[in-house]
Chains A and B, each alone.
Chain A
């Protein structure tokens, strides 16, 4: 193993322990690790944005020797306008234009995206014959339909939760609570395996206590 690798493994082990020490309380080791993490990750993304976005998505496209594209120049112009903030208040207001553009596009694109994937598709999936299959299937179908219905009733803002309507909203909260509990309990185990990966590194690659 080369010295860079050995050094790297010791460094990585020190960082691992430094971050874990936060569980005890904030301390100088965590603080050092945190500062290095913030700085290096900011640098990492800075570099990645430069090469993956600016170089590949703009430079290589716009200056393609065979068929140069025009579309990336729109992004370039928006980006330059964004940087006007660096050059004083006189022209800084220009940076609102690319923001307005991005906000408008985001609102437009995601409005359709969510309407389709979260509303249309989910409603389509809810519309299913209920009384088919075994008794168990029927119970399951009824529960899904009733749960979706009551859950949505809970989200009504313009009607007071009273009477039958309030009752449905309450059942809706119950369904939401079961959903939260189940998804939580469900995730616990896979979160444990994340730490196992680090322990495997510490005891295996670094200390070599396990084979």
Chain B
């Protein structure tokens, strides 16, 4: 290893120890400092642009550093990013907002940990909002890890407002039915009977002895449904299986990869609202008033996106210039 690298290594160790034992927890940059950092970084872009125009393409590690910085720094920055509310998220929110306290909402968690950065913030905000508003939540999952993710959302809501721990009772205000295998067939069978698919909840309590489920036979006893989906089975199956056949009212939160495939259902009116990816999550957090991870993450994501876009522009500037020069010669 070169000396420089050894120094860098020990600097990293020192930084970790500093972060772990010296720096304030949580650490935050003031808005002014944040702004200065952003301006400095933007200035370096100009330097890179000039260098590139002179024919020196930056190597990929420089791109890596910028992406890393764009992803990391916003975690600590006290800056507000204007998140415009799109109609599809607004409509998802309006639907839940219009429910009366005591309404029953079915929450289908169809994703796993790798998709959690995008979907968990939506689920957290959703859970907090429902608990505060007194809406009863029936949790289920068509993905094996879905119900665990739901458990995390419930826990997040309790941590956010410890008063909820006393107010919200399991079995009365919410229930976790767990995972059921069978994909779209579960959705279809639930149209006849929830109990047939979920004879007991996640803790093994029989369906009939759970107060919140009294008189819940099938979709007709549910006021609304919210689906968090990272693929198949997911929103598409819910629309085809429950909305089209049984008239369930549905909004969905999807990963960014999934969302465009779901848009046609939104346009056809089969879906009331749609939250797509981190942006959708940030908008939903803003609407519900429970700003949390997505509001931070969307900053990182937008910055990283801008970095990629700027690098593409820089790359093309130099390239086009090189082209015209060659033509002149």
**B71 and A199 contacting across the interface, CB-CB below 8 Å:** yes
Q: Please name the residue on chain B nearest to A207 by beta carbon.
A: B19
**CA A194 to CA B12, docked complex, whole Å:** 23
**B25 and A208 contacting across the interface, CB-CB below 8 Å:** yes
Query: Which of A17, A186, A203 is B257 in contact with, Cβ under 8 Å?
Result: A186
> Which residues of chain A come closer than 8 Å to B76, judged between CB atoms?
209-210
> Which residues of chain A come closer than 8 Å to B277, judged between CB atoms?
189-190, 193
Contacts between chains A and B (CB distance < 8 A), count: 78
Interface range, A side: 20 to 34
Given contacts A23-B64, A27-B1, whether A192 and B26 have CB atoms under 8 Å apart is: no
Query: Which of A24, A187, A192, A210 is B304 in contact with, Cβ under 8 Å?
Result: A192
Interface range, B side: 35 or more
Query: Which of B26, B61, B116, B308 is A197 in contact with, Cβ under 8 Å?
Result: B116
**B75 and A195 contacting across the interface, CB-CB below 8 Å:** no
**A24 and B61 contacting across the interface, CB-CB below 8 Å:** yes
Given contacts A24-B61, A189-B277, A199-B75, whether A194 and B117 have CB atoms under 8 Å apart is: yes
**A190 and B118 contacting across the interface, CB-CB below 8 Å:** yes
**B19 and A209 contacting across the interface, CB-CB below 8 Å:** yes
**CA A203 to CA B23, docked complex, whole Å:** 12
**CA A211 to CA B26, docked complex, whole Å:** 6
Given contacts A195-B71, A199-B75, whether A189 and B26 have CB atoms under 8 Å apart is: no
Is B249 positioned at the interface, with any CB of A under 8 Å from its CB? no
**B293 and A200 contacting across the interface, CB-CB below 8 Å:** yes
> Which residues of chain B come closer than 8 Å to A189, judged between CB atoms?
256, 277-278, 301, 305
Is A188 positioned at the interface, with any CB of B under 8 Å from its CB? yes
Smallest beta-carbon distance B235→chain A, Å: 16
Is A196 positioned at the interface, with any CB of B under 8 Å from its CB? yes
CB proximity to A under 8 Å, residues B166-216: none
Smallest beta-carbon distance B284→chain A, Å: 15
Query: Interface residues, chain B, CB within 8 Å of chain A?
Result: 1, 5, 12, 16, 19-20, 23, 25-27, 61, 64, 67-68, 71-72, 75-76, 114, 116-118, 255-257, 260, 277-278, 293, 296-297, 300-301, 304-305, 308
